[in-house]
Structure formats: C-alpha cells, structure tokens
Amino acid sequence: MTDTAVLTERQGHILIVTINRPEARNAVNAAVHAGIGTALEQAEHDPEIRVVIVTGAGDKSFCAGADLVALSRGESLAPDDAGQQAWGFGGFAAHPISKPVVGAVNGFAFGGGCELALMCDLIVAADTAQFALPEVKVGLFAAAGGAFRLAQQLPRKLAMEYMLTGDPIPAPRAAQFGLVNHVVPLADLMPTAIALAEKIAANAPLSVQASKRVALGIDEGRIAADAPFWEHNTRERAALMRSEDAREGPLAFAQKRKPEWKAR
C-alpha cells in the first residue's frame, strides 16, 4: 500500500496487515482506518487470500486506540468517504469479513486497540501483551464495540470487572478465560500466528468462510445480532458526550491531574 501507516504483505494464502506507527504506539488516525479497512476489503474479494493476520509494528504496542494527538489538532480519525466510515473505528470495528482474521498482539491493546483485537477471530499474544478498556477512567466508554463484545467473549462478571475498573488484562489471564488462543514469547509471536493461519488456510476455503459466517451470523457484511447493540451504543454515546464528565475526563488527562467527576 502507498500509505506507510499500514503495511501489507502476502505470504502464500495469508495477508499480513501491520499497523505501522510505532512512534505513536500504533494509534489509529484516518490513514490507519483507511489502510486496515482497505486491506480487509482486498482480502475479502481476493480468492487467493484465505486468512488475514493483523499486528502492530514494534515490540511495545499492538494499538493504543485513538490518536489523541490527532484529535487535539482537530483531525478526524476516519476518512471523509462515507463507505469507509461505515467500517467503524480503525476500519475494522464494524467491518466483519468472511475470511478468518488472526490477531497477533505484540504489546498493549488498549481502548480502541483492544476493540480491534476483539474483532479478531483468533488471537495469538505475546506474553507481555495486555488488553484494556480504560475509557471509564477518562469519562468515556468503549463505544467501538468493546462494551458489548467484551461481555460476549469473557464470562459476564469478569468482563464487567475489567470494563468498569478499566484495569488491564494480562495475556496469560486472558488465555485462561478464552479471550486469547495462544500466549508465546514475543520472538515466537509471528511464527506462531503464521503457523496457525497456515493450518486454517490448508482447509477448504469456502467451507472455512461459510463456517465463520454461520458462527458469527454474518450476512452481507454485517452481523445481524450486533444491530441492536450498535443502536443502543449510539444513543448512549450521544448522551454521554453531552455531559460535563465527558469534557472533564480528557481535560484532566491532558493536564495530568485527577478528574473531578460531577455525574452530570
């Protein structure tokens, strides 16, 4: 791809998609959104691609979520194109495809980065990786699918603990509860993810894709069961963003002080 914010590499029937902004902890801006979403579209419509791997550049961060520096400059985190905006945060949060997606989580997956990981069908994580939805600490909530997907993918009470405290989930603990498939040393991350992808790619492609669509309820590029969650999500986000606390949280974060919550 021409934009180096996201790199793509083909290995046989596998497409490796790398968020390539290590200097920004692989945070999502409009270029990342467009890059990931376009790569997923490419994979979906290329019969030679059977599995996608999504990872982050470097050894510290898979994805730190939204690019707060870009937001502070008044930049949008999504492209101007309405069709690309419909893909959801990072070009992926509301963009299910038929091809299996393996997340190779090489470091912190916080906020929107965790929400991107939750969209992956399988996860291989470095033993130093952590997952977190810390939005409640800054007056927001995980509005890119995390608020309902974490509760779908972990036991309910465990999901509520991590979502309501904003505390991180270390990769080994995430694996204990099925959020992660394999935990390996960082040096073994990509070889393990590629081996898993190759094992899937060796199977009948149409059978694999049909299995995923039925398992997740994907029909015409959408997960029907997610529709009421997204509708509720939109209402809650609109109400929350009108609150004083939603302004106080980011302001306190920027000023490096403890927020003063008003519950209004």
**Three-class secondary structure of residue 185 per DSSP:** coil
CATH of 6-201, one of 1.20.1250.20, 3.90.1150.10, 3.20.20.410, 3.90.226.10: 3.90.226.10
Nearest 5 degrees, angle CA 88-CA 180-CA 3? 40
Chain-wide mean pLDDT for the chain? 96
Give tens-digit pLDDT for 105-159.
999 999 999 999 999 999 999 999 999 999 999 999 999 999 999 999 999 999 9
CB atoms within 10 A of CB 183: 23
Q: Measure the CA–CA gap between 20 and 23, rounded to whole angstroms.
A: 9
Question: Residue 126 CA to chain centroid, in angstroms?
Answer: 16
For the record, the structure tokens of 104 come out as 């190779």
* Residues catalogued as catalytic: 115, 135
For the record, the structure tokens of 11 come out as 């290995």
What residue has token string 């990769």? 171
The mean pLDDT value for 222-227 works out to 95
Q: How confident is the model at residue 2 (pLDDT cuts 50, 70, 90)?
A: very low
**Residues 139/248, Cβ–Cβ less than 8 Å:** yes
Nearest 5 degrees, angle CA 138-CA 176-CA 217? 75
**Residues 146/133, Cβ–Cβ less than 8 Å:** yes
Residue 17, strand partner residues = 8, 54
Q: How confident is the model at residue 5 (pLDDT cuts 50, 70, 90)?
A: very high
Q: Measure the CA–CA gap between 132 and 115, rounded to whole angstroms.
A: 9
CB atoms within 10 A of CB 195: 12
Which of 3, 59, 57, 47 minimizes the C-alpha distance to 27?
Answer: 57
Q: How confident is the model at residue 251 (pLDDT cuts 50, 70, 90)?
A: confident
Give tens-digit pLDDT for 176-220.
999 999 999 999 999 999 999 999 999 999 999 999 999 999 999
